[in-house]
Structures are given as structure tokens and as C-alpha cells.
Amino acid sequence: MTGRHDAGRARAGAAGETFFQKIRSSPRLVPALRLVLGVCFVLAAVPKIADPGAFAGAILGSRRAPILLVGPLATVLPFVELLAALSVLLAPRSRPRRAGALILSILLLVFMAAAARALAAGLDFDCGCFGASADRKAGPLFFLEDCGLLLAGLGVLALDKDGPAEKDAGDGANSGGDDGDGGGG
């Protein structure tokens, strides 16, 4: 009787693991999410940095911001995108990667809300996401793509964790190493 009960429990455990649990536990998931999110935002930031005037035109065309903020937004926002994306892609520890993912996720929510507002007002506009040469109109596909990127950002935020060796190596209090203040311990 015990053997049959144990076999049933083992089958339930194997069958009970859902598709999402299998995906979530994959060691390739977080690096793939980081790559998609980071590369997309690097590719989006670089043309806007190269031509902030065109990005300012896209912001004006969609009426997404008050006119006094258009210049500063067109100048600063691409650098925020780039730095956050590079953090997601290149940071050796999870905390700065997760911070970058949080920033990019918030930006995506703001972009989506502003685009939805402009579309609801009947405006037909280029979103300016990848610079002036991309000619990417805001519409249903725009929202699907941004939802996918938002899911990638939230995935990095929720699932990116340092392993035990990385935690010990980077924590001066636990490793007994130099705490970075130059005091020698």
C-alpha cells in the first residue's frame, strides 16, 4: 500500500509542475529576458540621442507632454533609457539589473498610457520609439510589443536573483573582505 501511495505522489509531483513553473526555473529565462529588454532599449535610445530634435518632434506630434517639457524630455529620456538598458545587460549583480528593469518598466507604462491617451484623442502619430527613421505608428501592434517588453521587464524584476556565491562575494559584511571605505577592514 505504501509503495502505491509513493508512486502516486511522485507522478503527481512530476505532473503537478506546470508549464510556467518549468519555464520559470529555466536557467536561460532571465538572461533571455535581460537580452530582449536591454537590446531593445539600447536600439531605441541611440537614434534618439543622435537626433533629439526628431524625437522632440515625435513627442510634439503625439501631444504626450506639455510644450515646456518637450526639449528636456527629448534630451534626457534617451540617456535614461540607455543607462537603464546597459544596467540590465551588463551589471554583474542582480540589484542594478533589477533597478534598470524597474526604470524601463515604468517608462513603458508611461509611454503606453501617453500613447493610449493620444490615440483616444484621434491622433495618428509616429511613436518616435526608435528615432525618426523608424516610422513606427502607434496602434494595436505597438501595444502588443510594449506589453511583451513590459512582461520581460517584470520578469527580470521578479526572477533575477544573485546566486549564493555572488551574494557572499559582494557583501563585505558577510565575506569579511574590504568594505570599500579604504579603511582596510
Q: Tell me whether residue 144 is in a domain.
A: yes
Going by C-alpha positions, the residue among 36, 111, 40, 41 that lies closest to residue 73 is 111
Q: Tell me whether residue 82 is in a domain.
A: yes
C-alpha grid cell, residue 16 = 503537478
Helices (H), 63-178: 67-90, 94-120, 140-159, 164-170, 172-175
pLDDT of residue 182: 47
Helices then strands, each counted (H, E), the chain = 9, 0
125, 118 contact by CB (below 8 A)? yes
pLDDT of residue 135: 66
Q: Tell me whether residue 73 is in a domain.
A: yes
pLDDT of residue 132: 63
pLDDT of residue 3: 52
Q: Which domain holds residue 53?
A: 27-159
Q: Tell me whether residue 115 is in a domain.
A: yes
pTM for the structure as a whole: 0.73
Q: Tell me whether residue 21 is in a domain.
A: no
Q: Tell me whether residue 173 is in a domain.
A: no
pLDDT of residue 116: 82
Q: Tell me whether residue 154 is in a domain.
A: yes
Q: Tell me whether residue 169 is in a domain.
A: no
Number of separate domains in the chain: 1
* Mean pLDDT per 10-residue section of the chain, whose length is 185 residues: 50 61 81 96 94 84 76 92 97 95 95 81 73 67 88 94 59 45 46
Going by C-alpha positions, the residue among 113, 41, 29 that lies closest to residue 84 is 41
pLDDT of residue 129: 76
